[in-house]
Amino acid sequence: MNSFSRRRRLTTAALTALAVVTSATACGGSGSTGAQGEDSGTYAIWDPYPQFDKSSAWAKLLDGCGTEAGVKIKRTAFDTSDLSNKALLAAQQDNSADVLIVDNPVVSTLAEAGVLTTTDDNELDTSKVDPNLLAAGQSGGKTYGTPIGANTLALYYNKDVLNEAGVDIDSVKDWKSLTAALEKVKKAGKKGITFSAIGTEEGSFQFLPWFWGAGAELTELDSAEAVSALSLWKDWLDKGYAPNSVLNNTQTTSWQEFASGDYAFSENGTWQLANAEKAGFEYGVLPVPGVSGGNAAAPTGGEFVTIPVQGDTDRYATSQKLAACLTSAQNLYDTDTTLSYVAPTSEVQDKQVATNAELKPWVDAVKAAKGRTSDDLGTKYPKISEQLWKAVQSSLSGSKSPKDALTAAQSAVK
Amino acid sequence: MNPMNLTNRSPSRTWWKTAIGLLLTAVMLFPVYWMLNVSFTPERDMRKSPPDLFPAQGTLDGYRRVLDEQLPYLATSLVIGLGTVALTVALAAPAGYALAKLRPRGGGILNFVLLAAQMIPGIIMAMGFYAIYLSLGLLQSVPGLIVADSTLAVPFAVLIFTAFMSGIPGELLQAAKTDGAGPLRTFWSVVLPMSRNAVVTVSLFAFLWSWSDFVFAGTLVNGGAHEPITLGIYHYIGNNNQEWNAIMATAVVASLPAAVILVLAQRYVAAGVTAGAVKD
Amino acid sequence: MSHTTQVPHRRPVPEPSGAAATAPPPARRRPTSQQWAAWAFLAPVTLYLALFYAYPLYRNIDLSLRDYTVRSFVQGDAPFTGLENYRTVLDDPTFVPALLHTVVFTAVCLVFQYAIGLALAVFFNQHFRLSATLRALFLVPWLLPLIVSASTWSWMLNSDSGVVNALLSAVGVGPVNWLTSPSWSLTSVIIANIWIGVPFNLVVLYSGLQSIPASLYEAAALDGANAWQRFWRVTFPLLRPVSAITLLLGLVYTLKVFDIIWIMTKGGPADSSTTFATWSYQLGFGNLLPAFGPGAAVGNLLVVAALVFGLIYVRVQRKQALS
């Protein structure tokens, strides 16, 4: 009897829950026909922007696009590291979102899993997008989405610190002159450079400009060029030009270090521009230099708008309208301004630079940037990247020499 | 009443214990203080070296944002916490009684399963629930989250109830039986009142676990109409940037009311326990 | 019931309802009506376990026995490969260090958490001003989501701007690379985890202390036992069942600790703080391309490890009950 009443309580709880859900969707979907969760009038959009709440411009933009397409939008925002797992799980349960906005290196993984439709199927127009940006969403000759914005890495520098140390920023053209500048800064009692070498994708992302700048390729992690790039970082740490904490720094942490005003340089992304204005000192931006001059290619960051595979293929037409709306010129401009990103099309980029000249170096950097999963690396990239950040970590922490660390990494990839 | 203080009951002779207690608590709570400190720290001083021990040039930005945006979440957290406590005790107390006193065949196996159940990593549990709820349409519902949160506490609760209830003397139960009480009545009027300590301990942890749960909340109710306070943290974790003073401020705001509840509950509990001891 | 045998010749005032010190457990005969009653009481929790744990557990086992790629994960057609994933994991160069770190991490955390928790429980079990309030405050760390408390620790232990190094340099000790040196990272996560585990031990052991009847202490005091003797002869033995369960639960919780380590060090640098729990997560979720199979296999090894200890616990308990 006792157990019966408890069981009934459980059932009641479950029923209540069900009722809550059904009523929520029922009163939510004013234009909807049925009371089911997935009715034809409600479209689900997943994005990695939890920082934007219901009253944000982004949420309003989504609703606006929904109204334009004649449907109701149900938005869910996930922490970006959560989103790919959720997307895989939802696809496994055959319950994917209608429009999915994901970090670009994840696109090839989701495509490999068969979660995403190609632009051939969904008829998204990607003709205006810069080809180097679109490449991150391509694999096996197919395109799986279109970028909503792009960002990349460059060096922020603190003018006050450099002046104090007597460094002329124009003299910094290659690794040698950069290291010389760091030495001067250290002698002046300030701190050199901070970056993020953490044991996650962020660490690889930050190492890549140096890696590529040395002329190394992701298909050969133990090349002499790769070793020289890692040795550069290791050397900075050993000489105290870079703090030991970089090993554990996220890009936010490394930015906070730079924001303290003690550091001359910080390798960080486009998205920090707004924070740089608030930093309270004069700053400048410099592309990451290559080993012997010129600009190193930096990796592209930023998200893609994709349309996941649905059981009900009739939904694609509306999903396509939503995705097209989100990536229309005006909306790209608004969104990328909010996110502090560079737009993926030249047309919008020009407009961004016209409004804000500070963006000029970033637009150039994005144009020179390279997708991590480009060169048809696709799903090979995640494995390579993991070995790369491990090598960086073991070398910088002193447990292996740069050469040994990279040799081990290369053999682990195979 | 309390056995340990037979010899030194007068307050004048216990002040040094209070002093030691204060010191220990201060050491224990230093990280919490540090969190408080960070929550007041403006962006530019976050990684100042050496750090400020006291936020002299503090900012209230974090709190301003949190108070603007987060208060409704507190009520949701409270409902979820209390719901989890109720569900956990309702499920676990009878089970603990049966395992401790009724010697069921197969009880050992169940004990074992309970242990195994706790070993499943939280993220796997969360993924399992996600898949189940997605098909059932239970995502983003408060009762759904209560059920999920209770899985954090139920196996623990059963084991705790078993451990505590096995200390209840057999004669008492025998006496109840002789008086004609069935197992249900024995459980309700003898065992449960005597297990007050266990109920309190279990409730405390069930509440704490659900209050601070992040994994289930993030997986199951993210984006729903009612989100617990821990999810408020998501507002400050962008995909490239985290606003730490606001994150820490959320944690402070989230823990303050619960801390008050804890202190009050503890006083009540202490009184209740002593009263119970006298009755024995 | 087992602990009744642990109070040797020190039967207190003969009190019919003297809580702990009573006759041996009732006869081992199991009447059928009692069986029915027992299972009626157990039914809700059994149903609950079957409903909510079976699926994730089944899923984890299934994941570990198949060769999952992201594609077959979504399409659900992964080929069955038996113990292949387990073999992969055993051959992995990370296996031995991870095993070692798991053992060290678990053992050190358990010992310190229990010892500190017990000392504090005994301390707070005395009556003094504010004792209840301070005890409640000890629980405050539990109100914080782990993401916050672990981040705070990594904040404090930061090599360059951390408060711990600042305090060390104030007393003339050079900076320690708590989180970024392979020789310190494990120590750092152990310290943080002990901090998180102490309140649990304190509360459970404190409740255990409260259940020890005052009459026993009075009898011991009459016999001329000092505080130290009272602790070792009365408190400690009577706390045995609660201690055992605390340690067992502590073991289970410590084995699966992952958030703290993950947030503080990501298991690094160079795997120097990788345990099975973080390794499992690293394989399954720490990468853009998840390796579900090996990740689940490592997770299951942990479950097996806990089961072994559970078995030992059940055995010991049964032996004590029979003796």
Helices and strands (H, E) in chain A, number of each type: 18, 11
Q: In what order do the strands lie in the sheet with A153-158?
A: A191-194, A263-269, A153-158, A283-286
Is there a single domain that holds both residue A158 and residue A67?
no
Is there a single domain that holds both residue A190 and residue A336?
no
Query: Which H helix or E strand runs over A268?
Result: strand A263-269
Give the burial class of A317: count Cβ atoms within 10 A of its Cβ; 0-12 exposed, 13-18 middle, 19 or more buried.
exposed
Is there a single domain that holds both residue A198 and residue A281?
yes
C189 touches chain B (CB under 8 A): no
Residue in this structure with the two tokens 């984890």, named with its chain if needed: C60
How does strand A72-77 pair with strand A283-286?
unpaired
Q: How high is the pLDDT of residue A5?
A: 41
pTM, whole model, 2 decimals? 0.82
Tens digits of residue pLDDT in C273-317:
998 888 888 887 777 777 888 888 888 888 888 778 778 877 777
Percent of chain C with pLDDT over 70: 89
For range C143-157, the mean pLDDT: 84
Is there a single domain that holds both residue A95 and residue A191?
no
CA dihedral sign of residues A262, A264, A269, A273: positive
More confident residue, A157 or A311: A157
Percent of chain C with pLDDT over 90: 13
For residue B236, list chain A residues with Cβ-Cβ distance below 8 A. Answer: 51
Q: Residue C154: is its pLDDT beyond 90?
A: no
Instruction: Tell me the C-alpha distance between C177 and C168, whole Å.
Output: 12
Mutation target vs A (from B47, B189, B222; most A CBs, 10 A cutoff) = B47
Of the pLDDT bands very low, low, confident and very high (cuts 50, 70, 90), residue B12 is: low
The distance from CA B44 to its chain's CA centroid, rounded to whole angstroms, is 35
Tens digits of residue pLDDT in B24-49:
999 999 998 988 888 888 877 877 77
Across the interface, of A106, A247, A260, the residue whose CB is closest to C288 is A106
Instruction: Residue B188: name the closest of B174, B201, B176, B205 by CA.
Output: B176
More confident residue, B200 or B24: B24
CA distances from A98 to A46, A91, C206 (A): 8, 11, 53
Instruction: Tell me the C-alpha distance between C239 and C103, whole Å.
Output: 26
List residues bridging with C307 in a β-sheet.
none
Asked whether residue A205 is domain-assigned, the answer is yes
ipTM score for this prediction: 0.78
Q: Residue B247: is its pLDDT beyond 50?
A: yes
Instruction: Tell me the C-alpha distance between B63 and A401, whole Å.
Output: 46
Instruction: Residue C51: name the closest of B151, A29, A260 by CA.
Output: B151
For range C152-164, the mean pLDDT: 86
How does strand A283-286 pair with strand A142-143?
unpaired
Q: How high is the pLDDT of residue B174?
A: 86
Q: How high is the pLDDT of residue C29?
A: 54
One-letter-per-residue 3-state SS of chain C:
CHHHHHCCCCCCCCCCCCCCCCCCCCCCCCCHHHHHHHHHHHHHHHHHHHHHCHHHHHHHHHHHHECCCHHHHHHCCCCECCCHHHHHHHHCCCHHHHHHHHHHHHHHHHHHHHHHHHHHHHHHCCCCCCHHHHHHHCCHHHHCCHHHHHHHHHHHCCCCCCHHHHHHHHCCCCCCCCCCCCCCHHHHHHHHHHHHHHHHHHHHHHHHHHCCCHHHHHHHHHCCCCHHHHHHHHHHHHCHHHHHHHHHHHHHHHHCCCHHHHHHHCCCCCCCCCCHHHHHHHHHHCCCCCCHHHHHHHHHHHHHHHHHHHHHHHHHHHHHHHC
Tell me the one-letter amino acid at A137: G
B103 touches chain C (CB under 8 A): yes
The distance from CA B214 to its chain's CA centroid, rounded to whole angstroms, is 13
Question: Other C-beta atoms within 10 Å of A246: how many?
Answer: 27
C286 touches chain B (CB under 8 A): no
Instruction: Residue C300: name the closest of C50, C58, C49 by CA.
Output: C58
Question: Other C-beta atoms within 10 Å of A367: how many?
Answer: 15
Query: Which H helix or E strand runs over A42?
Result: strand A42-47
For residue C216, list chain B residues with Cβ-Cβ distance below 8 A. Answer: 3
Q: With contact defined as beta carbons under 8 Å apart, do B248 and C148 qualify?
A: yes
Q: What φ, ψ does residue A284 adopt, rounded to 5°?
A: -140, 170
Q: Which of the residue ranges A352-356, B74-78, B203-207, B256-260 would you say has the lowest mean pLDDT?
A: B256-260
C129 touches chain B (CB under 8 A): yes
Distance (Å) from the alpha carbon of C75 to chain A's nearest alpha carbon: 6
Write out the residue range of the structural domain in which residue A58 sits.
39-147+303-340
How long, in residues, is chain C? Answer: 323
Of the pLDDT bands very low, low, confident and very high (cuts 50, 70, 90), residue A23 is: very low
Of the pLDDT bands very low, low, confident and very high (cuts 50, 70, 90), residue A39 is: low
For chain B, list the domains and their CATH numbers. 11-59 (no CATH), 71-279 (1.10.3720.10)
- Asked whether the bond before B51 is cis by omega within 30 degrees of 0, the reply is no
Helices and strands (H, E) in chain B, number of each type: 13, 0
For residue C47, list chain A residues with Cβ-Cβ distance below 8 A. Answer: 7, 10
B170 touches chain C (CB under 8 A): yes
Percent of chain B with pLDDT over 70: 89
Across the interface, of C59, C132, C284, the residue whose CB is closest to B267 is C132
Q: What is the mean pLDDT of chain A?
A: 85
Of the pLDDT bands very low, low, confident and very high (cuts 50, 70, 90), residue B11 is: low
Q: Residue B80: is its pLDDT beyond 90?
A: yes
Q: Report the phi/psi class of residue B103: left, alpha or beta, with left for phi > 0 and alpha for psi in -120 to 50.
A: left
Is there a single domain that holds both residue A280 and residue A400?
yes
Q: How high is the pLDDT of residue B239?
A: 67
Cβ-defined contact of A93 to B131 (cutoff 8 Å): yes
Instruction: Tell me the C-alpha distance between A298 and C23, whole Å.
Output: 77
Asked whether residue A21 is domain-assigned, the answer is no
For range C28-55, the mean pLDDT: 80
For range B158-187, the mean pLDDT: 85
Q: How high is the pLDDT of residue B270?
A: 52
For residue B140, list chain A residues with Cβ-Cβ distance below 8 A. Answer: 21, 24
Of the pLDDT bands very low, low, confident and very high (cuts 50, 70, 90), residue A342 is: very high
Asked whether residue A198 is domain-assigned, the answer is yes
Is there a single domain that holds both residue A208 and residue A63?
no
DSSP 8-state class, residue A52: S
Instruction: Tell me the C-alpha distance between C256 and A68, whole Å.
Output: 49
Asked whether residue A18 is domain-assigned, the answer is no
Is there a single domain that holds both residue A116 and residue A162?
no
Distance (Å) from the alpha carbon of A21 to chain B's nearest alpha carbon: 7
Instruction: Tell me the C-alpha distance between B221 and B143, whole Å.
Output: 10
How long, in residues, is chain A? Answer: 414
Tens digits of residue pLDDT in A260-300:
888 999 999 988 888 888 888 899 999 999 999 888 999 99
More confident residue, A13 or A60: A60
More confident residue, A356 or B223: A356
Give the burial class of A361: count Cβ atoms within 10 A of its Cβ; 0-12 exposed, 13-18 middle, 19 or more buried.
middle
More confident residue, A6 or A400: A400
Asked whether residue A25 is domain-assigned, the answer is no
Cβ-defined contact of C137 to B247 (cutoff 8 Å): no
Is there a single domain that holds both residue A171 and residue A206?
yes
How long, in residues, is chain B? Answer: 280
Q: How high is the pLDDT of residue B245?
A: 84
Across the interface, of B47, B138, B139, the residue whose CB is closest to A256 is B47
Q: How high is the pLDDT of residue C20?
A: 38
C77 touches chain A (CB under 8 A): no
Q: Give chains near C: 3+ CB pairs under 8 A.
A: A, B
Tens digits of residue pLDDT in C175-215:
888 888 888 999 999 999 999 999 889 988 988 888 788 88
User: Domain of A134: which CATH number?
Assistant: 3.40.190.10
DSSP 8-state class, residue A188: T
Q: Residue A58: is its pLDDT beyond 80?
A: yes
Instruction: Tell me the C-alpha distance between A197 and C266, whole Å.
Output: 12
Residue A123 has which token pair?
């008829």
List residues bridging with A413 in a β-sheet.
none
Instruction: Residue B187: name the closest of B179, B178, B198, B176 by CA.
Output: B176
Q: How high is the pLDDT of residue B269?
A: 58
For range A316-336, the mean pLDDT: 92
Asked whether residue A166 is domain-assigned, the answer is yes
Q: What is the mean pLDDT of chain B?
A: 81
Q: How high is the pLDDT of residue A36?
A: 33
Q: Residue A367: is its pLDDT beyond 60?
A: yes
Q: Residue C232: is its pLDDT beyond 50?
A: yes
Is there a single domain that holds both residue A269 and residue A326?
no
Instruction: Tell me the C-alpha distance between A281 and A301, whole Å.
Output: 26
Is there a single domain that holds both residue A119 and residue A211?
no
Q: With contact defined as beta carbons under 8 Å apart, do C25 and C1 qualify?
A: yes
For range C112-118, the mean pLDDT: 95
For chain C, list the domains and their CATH numbers. 68-322 (1.10.3720.10)
Q: How high is the pLDDT of residue C248?
A: 85
Residue A45 has which token pair?
């959009």
Tell me how many degrees the CA angle B212-B217-B223 measures, rounded to the nearest 5. 135
Is there a single domain that holds both residue A197 and residue A238?
yes
* Total structural domains within chain A: 2
Residue in this structure with the two tokens 């216990």, named with its chain if needed: B14
Q: How high is the pLDDT of residue C321?
A: 67
Name the interface residues of B facing A (CB cutoff 8 Å).
Answer: 43-49, 69, 87, 90-91, 94, 127, 130-131, 134-144, 146-147, 184, 218-219, 222-223, 225, 234-242, 244
Residue C21 has which token pair?
């010190």
Q: Residue B172: is its pLDDT beyond 90?
A: no
Q: Residue A56: is its pLDDT beyond 90?
A: no
Asked whether residue A235 is domain-assigned, the answer is yes
Is there a single domain that holds both residue A157 and residue A256?
yes
Tens digits of residue pLDDT in A147-162:
999 999 999 999 999 9
Long-range contact list for A314-320, CB < 8 A, 24+ apart? A315/A40, A315/A43, A315/A98, A316/A117, A316/A121, A316/A122, A318/A43, A318/A69, A318/A70, A318/A71, A318/A98, A319/A43, A319/A98, A319/A99, A319/A122, A320/A122, A320/A123, A320/A124
Q: With contact defined as beta carbons under 8 Å apart, do A43 and A73 qualify?
A: yes
Mutation target vs B (from A256, A267, A304; most B CBs, 10 A cutoff) = A256
Instruction: Tell me the C-alpha distance between C110 and C246, whole Å.
Output: 10
Q: What is the largest CA-CA distance in chain B?
A: 74
Tell me the one-letter amino acid at B199: V
Cβ-defined contact of C270 to A400 (cutoff 8 Å): yes
